Amino acid sequence: MAYGQPVSGQSTAVSIAMSILGHKTSIGELTSAGALKLTKGRTLPFWWDDASDFSVLEELAVSSYNN
């Protein structure tokens, strides 16, 4: 996760880091169910750019920690 002020290069930094792992695209909006399904059984990270629904982000973080 990259955190910072708008237009300060977070997306660029994450894009560079993820391209090293072979990921070329980001994920748009997700529901809680979609986010949990995406992370199930996955060890590699995914790139979720500009998450706007922080309740989904919170639920994903708590669920990931508890599992």
| 48 strand-pairing partners | 27
For residue 58, what pLDDT is reported?
84
Tokens 């986010």, residue located: 35
What is the domain partition of the chain in residue ranges?
10-66
What is the value of pTM for the model shown? 0.47
Nearest-angstrom CA–CA distance, 60 and 33: 9
pLDDT at position 53 is 77
| Model pLDDT, residue 25 | 73
Digit-coded pLDDT (tens) for 1-43: 666 677 778 778 878 887 887 877 777 677 777 777 777 766 6
CA-nearest of 34, 16, 33 to 24 is: 16
- The Cα diameter of the chain in Å comes to 34
At 56 the pLDDT is: 81
